Amino acid sequence: MRVPVEWLRELVEIAPGVRGRDIAADLVRVGLEEEGIHGGQLRGPLVVGRVLSQVPEPQKNGKTIHWCHVDVGANGQQLTHGIPQEIVCGANNFDAGDWVVCILPGGVLPGNFEISARKTYGHMSNGMICSERELGLGDDHDGIIVLTRYFADRPDILESLEPGMDAIALLGLGREVVEVNVTPDRGYCFSMRGIAREYALATNVDFRDPADIEVPVATGPGFPVRLVDERPIDGRVGCDRYVARTVRDVDASRPSPPWMQRYLTEVGMRPISLAVDVTNYVMMLLGQPLHAFDLDLLPGDIEVRRAAPGEKLTTLDDVERTLAADDLLITGGGEILAIAGVMGGASSEVGPATRNVLIEAAHFDPITVARSSRRHRLATEASKRFERGVDPQIAPVAAELAARLLAEFGGGTIDSTATDVGEPQARSAFDFDVTHPTRLIGLEYPREEVVGTLRRLGCEVTESAGSPIVSVLAPTWRPDLTDGPELVEEVARVRGYDQIPSVVPRAEGRGLTHAQRVRRVVATMLANQGLVEVESYPFIGNGLFDVLGYAADDARRDTVTLANPLQDEAPLMRTSLLDTLLETLRRNVSRGMRDVAVYELGLVTRGSVPKGGAPILPVSSRPDPESEARLYAAVPPQPRHVAFAAAGLAQGSGPWGSSRGFDASDAVTWAREVGEILGIQLQVAAATMAPWHPGRCAAISLPDGRVVGWAGELHPKVLGALKLPARTVAGELDLDLLTEASLAPISAVKLSTFPLATTDVALTVDETVPVGEVEAALRRGAGPLLESLSLFDLFRGEQVGAGKKSLAFHLAVRAPDRTLTTDEVSAIRDQAVAAAARDCGATQR
Amino acid sequence: MSGPNTNYDPVEVAALDPVTVEAARVAALEAAASATTLDELKAARTTHQGDRSALAQANREIGALPPSAKAAAGKLVGGARGAVAAAYARRQRELEDERDARILAEESLDLTMPSGRPGLGARHPLSLVSERIEDIFIAMGWEIADGPEVESEWLTFDALNLGPDHPARQMQDTFFVAPAESSGLVLRTHTSPVQIRSMLSRTPPIAILCPGKVFRTDDLDATHSPVFHQFEGLVVDRGISMAHLKGSLDAFVQRLFGGHIATRLRPSYFPFTEPSAEIDCQCWVCYGQDISCRVCGGFGWIELGGCGMVNRRVLTAAGIDAEVYTGFAFGLGIERALMLRHNVNDMRDITEGDVRFSRQFGMEI
C-alpha cells in the first residue's frame, strides 16, 4: 500500500517537520513494514519558464528537435547572463508563449538523474523541459508539461505564474509517498482510513475517521437488486450486503479534479475518467471496492448469484473466462456483468457518454472472492481487499461519498432513494482474559492498559467487577480479531515489541542423533578424500530412467510427478542422487574443471502417490491414531543417500611421475571408506546394475548381505547420452541402512602383545575368479589368528598359463596367548591355501 | 712389539730426547691442522699417533729408563701425546661438522615444487553454516529434527492453520504432486511440517530445530532459488512466552555473529503464529554506524525471518493441550545467512554445484 503523506495529513495530525521516513518508522512499530519511500528525490533548480522561441530542426535520424529560448527569470544562463536559457527539447506539444517547467544544470531528477549543460544536436543545451513522467508526477510522457493546460482549472495559479518561480512547490514535488507492506490479516490497512488509524495508534495522536459522514435516510427503494445463493461456502452466502446508489445527469466526460488524480497517481493508480477515479479514490480512502455501472446500459434488475458451470464472461481485460459453479456473479436482466469482487465485463462499463451512473458498494464473502481470484488468476485491487475482509458497515458510507463526488465534479444529482439489501453476519462478542497478555508475552500489562488498548482499537469491552474475564466485541473493520491471542498481539504491539524482555528458555536435549552424526562424518570423510560436496536440484525428466538403462520394472522408476514443475521437461522427483549429481558433474566439466570429483548427501523419493492420495484431516483436534498412521503411510519413502561421481584425472602428471585417471576402483574405494568411517566392513562383489558398466560394477553390501548400493564405472552408453567424459565413475549408497548398521556399539578385541608372524602364499586361479573371493577363502581357511591379509602381486603370463592369473598375498598371524611356532604358522597357511583351493580352484605355485 | 730393555742406557735413547719429542709434537699438530679432509686426518693420525709414530716410540722407551728418570720422561711424553690426541679429536669434530653441513646443503630440496598429491576436497558451505547453526542450538539443549521433503499437504498447510482458502496460502507458490487435486502431497514449502510431526510424536517439553531443504516455485536468479534451506525452531512447554522467543533469538545471533548483537521484533502476520513478528538482527558489521555498510545497506538492521507464539489452532491440531502449554516458533533462511556472512552475491553460485564455489571455503566457517 502506497501512502501519500499529504493524504495522511488530512486524516491525522502530523507535525510539519515529520518526513516520510519518520512516518515509516512509526508504522513499522505497529506492524506495517516499510517497502520504500517515494518522491522527495527531486532536487532543483526546477523552475517555471516561458517559451520565447521554439525553432523546429529536423534531424537526420528522422526526429525533429526544437531549439528553444526560455525565459527562466533570474535563473538565466550563467555564461550569458541576461540571455534566456537555451534548451534543446524533443517534444512538440508546445509553442512559443507557453508556460513550461525547466530543470536547470545542477538539478537532479528522480532516479538520481543529474542534469548538466551538454552539447546535443549541434547546440549547447542548458537544462531540460520536463514531462510528467520525468518529474515522477504521472505516466504521461507524450509531451512536456504545459502549465496552461496542466492548471486549466486553477486560474488563480495561472495568474500567479512568473518566469523563474520555484516549480517544486508549485507542483507539490516535495511530496512523499511511504510504501508499506500490508499483511493478510490487516485488510483494513489497504485504505487510508486503516493506515491513518494505525498511525494514530502508533503515535498516540487523534484520528479523524473519513467514514464519519452522514448518510441520509433513503426515501424509498433504489435500483432493484436480488441476492440469491444456492451454494453458500461453509454456510456463508457469497454476498451478504449490496448497497446501490444512483446519480443522474452526470457529465462523465469531465475530468476528475487534479488533487484526486494526484492522490491516485501517488497510490499507484492511473487516473482514467471521472467515474472510475471517484470509485478508486473512495476505495483507497475507505477500503470499500466500488463499481460504477452505466445505468442506461444495464439490461435489467441486478441479481447476484452463483455461476452455472460452463457460463462465460469476457472480462475488462479482454479475456473470455469460463466460469465455475463457485464463482459469484453480478448479473443484470440475466446478462452476466461481473465476477463479484474480482472484475467486471465490458458491457455496462461507464464511458464518456454515460449520463446516469449506478454505484455498487457490496460486501462479498472473502473465501468466494479468493477462490474466483485464484481460479481465474485475476488479482485485482477489489479482490485483494475482499479476500482480506472489508468492513461490512462501510458500504453505505462509501456509496454516499462516491455519489457526492460524482455529483460535485460531474454535475449530477443523487437519487434520494437507495438500495441496501442483504444481512451482514452479526458480530459476536467473545471472552478475553486480561491476564493473558502478561502470560503469553512475558511482560507485565496492567488491566487498565489492556482494556484501554482494546478500546482505542475500536473494540467494545464489557467488564464485570472482580473478574479478569472481559467480553470483547471487535470493530467491524477488524474481522481478524476473533480470539484471545489476536488481542494479545494488539496489546503487545501497541506497547511496542521492543519492550519484550529477553529470557533464554531451559532445555535439556540429548545432542545430535546417531543418524545426524553419521551424515557429518561421512560428508567430512569424502571431503578429506578430495571430493567436493555439491547440491543439485531433485527434479528430473521423464526419459532419464530409459537413458540410465533401467528395466521396465525397475523399482527406481517408482516416484512422484509434480503437477506444476518449474520446467516441463523435468517433472519427476529423483529416485537416486546420481540422477541429478551427474548433471552437476557435467556442468563442472563443461566449465573447464575436467578433473573433478563431487559428492552429495540428500533424500531421494522411492515410491509414488498412494491410492486416494494423502488424507486431508480435520484440524479441530489431534488426528486419531488410525488417521495419523494413514497420513504417514501416504508419504512416499524418502531414504537418505550418499552418492559420488568423478571424471578425468585422479592425479595429473608432473615432475613427480605420470598421471592416473579416476577408475572404477576409486568409486569402490570411496564406498568402502564410507563403511570404514562408520566401523562397517562393507563387502564388495561383482554385479550387473544399470547405469554402471556391466563388467565394472560392484555391489556393496553389509556384512549381513544386505546390499546398500553400487559403485564402479558408468556404462559407456549412459556416458554418451548424458554427455559425460569417457570412464566417468560413480557410486551411491543408502545412508539410512548404513546408519542402522552402525548403530550398535563396536565391541573391542583385546590386543595381543605376542610377536607377529608373517608368511606369503602365491596362488594360481582362473582369470574369472575375483580377487575378493580368493581373499575371502584365505580368511576363512586361516581362521581367527589371521591378523591381516594383503595382495602384493598379480601376475599373468606363460608360466601361469592362458586364462589364469597368479596372486601373491602376505599373511600376518598372531595368537592372543603365545608366540606361534613355525609349524603353527605353516599349518595356518596350509589351511588358508586349502580353503582357496576348495572354494576358488586355486593351486599353490 | 719389543719389550722394555732394562739394560739400555737412557742417555743413548734418542727417542726420548726432549728436542725430538717436541719436534714430534709440533709435527703432529701441524699435520692435524693442515688436514683438510677426514681421510687426510686419518692418514696424519696414523703417522703421528700410530704405533710407529715418534711419540709412541718414545712412550714405549720410558719403560727402559731408570725409575728416577721415568717421572720426568713420562711427563714430557704424556704431555705431548695428550696435546696431540686433543688436537686430533678437535680437528676430527671440525671436519665432521664441515662434512655434515656440506651434506645437508647438498640435500636441500625446492619445497615450492608442487607435490602432485591429490588435495583435499571441500564441504558445501551451506552444510557448514547449517551445522554451525545446529551446534548453537544443541549447545542450548535443543535437539535437531528431520522430516521428508515430499510431504503431506495436511502437515504442510492445514495443520498450520493454512486452510485451503487462506490468503496466506497464496503467498507461497507451492509445487504440488500430481494429481494436484487428489494426491494430498506437496514439496514442503517450509520445514514446519517437521514441527507438526515432532509435536505429534513427542510430549512437552519440546525444544527442536528443524533445518532442511524447502521448495517454492520461484525461478532461479541472483536472489531466488526454487530449492533452498531453512531452519525453524520450536519450543513448547508450560509457561513459554514471547520473552523466551526473544531470548532464544538473541542467544542465537550472538553465537553466530558474535558480540552483543541484539534482535528486534516487528509486528507481523503468519497464520501459524499469534502474536507474530518479523525478526531483524542488528548489523554485525557496522552496528548501524556505517551509512554505506555493504551488509545492511546502511539500515543497521538485517531482516532474518519470521516468528511468533504458536497459534492455538496449530497446537490443537498437533495434539498439544493449548490450555496447558504454550510455545514459540521461528523460521530463518540458511542461504541468506550464508550470503550475508560470506559476501555471496549470486544465489546461483550456491545452487549450481560448481566445485570452485565450495573450494573457496575451508571445512569450518
pLDDT in tens, A580-612: 999 999 999 999 999 999 999 999 999 999 999
Cα-Cα-Cα-Cα torsion A123, A125, A129, A130, nearest 10 degrees, comes to: 120
Q: Do A534 and B140 touch (CB under 8 A)?
A: no
- Residues B210, B232 contacting (CB under 8 angstroms): yes
Same domain, B177 and B54: no
Min Cα distance B244 → chain A (Å) is 5
Q: Do B266 and A33 touch (CB under 8 A)?
A: yes
* Least CB–CB distance from A371: residue in B151, B158, B165: B165
Alpha-helix runs per DSSP H in A471-533: 484-495, 514-528
* Least CB–CB distance from B150: residue in A31, A524, A635: A635
Tell me, yes or no, if B294 comes closer than 8 A to chain A by beta carbon.
no
Min Cα distance B103 → chain A (Å) is 23
pLDDT, tens only, B337-359? 888 888 888 999 999 999 999 99
d(CA A104, CA B172): 47
Mutate to test the interface with B, among A504, A514, A598 (most CBs of B within 10 A): A504
Same domain, B136 and B261: yes
Give the total residue count for chain A: 845
- Residues A836, A842 contacting (CB under 8 angstroms): yes
Tell me, yes or no, if B348 comes closer than 8 A to chain A by beta carbon.
no
Same domain, A704 and A574: yes
Tell me, yes or no, if B354 comes closer than 8 A to chain A by beta carbon.
yes
pTM: 0.82
Q: In chain B, which residue's Cα lies nearest the Cα of A513?
A: B144
The interaxial angle of helices B125-139 and B242-257, nearest 10 deg, is 130
Domain count, chain A: 6
Alpha-helix runs per DSSP H in A230-376: 258-267, 274-286, 366-375
Listed as own residue / partner, the contacts of A654-658 with beta carbons closer than 8 Å and 24 or more positions apart are A654/B114, A654/B116, A655/B113, A655/B116, A656/B115, A656/B116, A657/B116
Q: Do A503 and B247 touch (CB under 8 A)?
A: yes
A70 part of a folded domain: yes
**Tens digit of each residue's pLDDT, chain B (365 residues):** 455 555 555 455 566 788 888 899 999 999 999 999 999 999 999 999 888 888 888 888 888 888 888 888 888 889 999 999 999 999 999 999 999 999 999 999 988 888 888 889 999 999 999 999 999 999 999 999 999 999 999 999 999 998 877 655 654 589 999 998 899 999 999 999 999 999 999 999 999 999 999 999 888 888 889 999 999 999 999 999 999 999 999 999 999 888 788 899 999 999 999 999 999 988 888 888 887 787 787 778 888 999 999 999 999 999 999 999 999 999 999 998 888 888 888 999 999 999 999 999 988 88
B365 part of a folded domain: no
Min Cα distance A719 → chain B (Å) is 19
Query: Which residue positions of A form the known binding site for Mg(2+)?
Result: 480, 489-490
Same domain, A635 and A680: yes
Same domain, A593 and A732: yes
Of the candidates A421, A449, A472, which is a domain's last residue? Answer: A421
Q: Do A535 and B276 touch (CB under 8 A)?
A: no
Of the candidates A714, A741, A768, which is a domain's last residue? Answer: A741
- Residues A785, A828 contacting (CB under 8 angstroms): yes
d(CA B301, CA B290): 11
Tell me, yes or no, if B116 comes closer than 8 A to chain A by beta carbon.
yes
Residue A250 C-alpha cell reads as 452526470
Tell me, yes or no, if B159 comes closer than 8 A to chain A by beta carbon.
yes
Contacts of A110 (CB under 8 A, 6+ apart): A39, A41, A42, A134, A135, A136
Same domain, A443 and A472: yes
Domain that holds residue B190: 125-359
Same domain, B290 and B319: yes
CATH number at residue B247: 3.30.930.10
A509 part of a folded domain: no
- Residues A748, A519 contacting (CB under 8 angstroms): no
Of the candidates A716, A741, A766, which is a domain's last residue? Answer: A741
Same domain, A263 and A387: yes
Domain that holds residue A123: 46-171
Same domain, A493 and A543: no
Q: Do A486 and B313 touch (CB under 8 A)?
A: no
Measured between beta carbons, which residues in chain B are less than 8 angstroms from residue A537? 226-227, 351
Domain count, chain B: 2
A667 part of a folded domain: yes
Tell me, yes or no, if B300 comes closer than 8 A to chain A by beta carbon.
no
Measured between beta carbons, which residues in chain B are less than 8 angstroms from residue A529? 121
* Strand, helix or coil for residue A638: coil
Query: How many H helices and E strands in chain B?
Result: 13, 9
Same domain, A553 and A639: yes
Same domain, A167 and A182: no
Same domain, B207 and B355: yes
Q: Is A333 left (phi over 0), alpha (psi -120 to 50) or beta?
A: left
Same domain, A410 and A383: yes
pLDDT, tens only, A305-343? 999 988 999 988 889 999 999 999 999 999 999 999 999
Same domain, B250 and B304: yes
Tell me, yes or no, if B210 comes closer than 8 A to chain A by beta carbon.
no
Tell me, yes or no, if B260 comes closer than 8 A to chain A by beta carbon.
no
A208 part of a folded domain: no
CATH number at residue A141: 2.40.50.140
A287 part of a folded domain: yes
Q: In chain B, which residue's Cα lies nearest the Cα of A530?
A: B121
Q: Do B277 and A183 touch (CB under 8 A)?
A: no
Percent pLDDT > 70 in chain A is 99
Q: Do A613 and B118 touch (CB under 8 A)?
A: no
A503 part of a folded domain: no
Same domain, A446 and A555: no
A210 part of a folded domain: no
What is the SS3 string spanning A663-727? CHHHHHHHHHHHHHHCCCCCEEEECCCCCEEEEEEEEEECCCCCEEEEEEEECHHHHHHCCCCCC
A574 part of a folded domain: yes
pLDDT score, position A199:
95
Complex ipTM more than 0.90, yes or no: no
* Least CB–CB distance from B121: residue in A501, A529, A623: A529
Same domain, A276 and A399: yes
Tell me, yes or no, if B110 comes closer than 8 A to chain A by beta carbon.
no
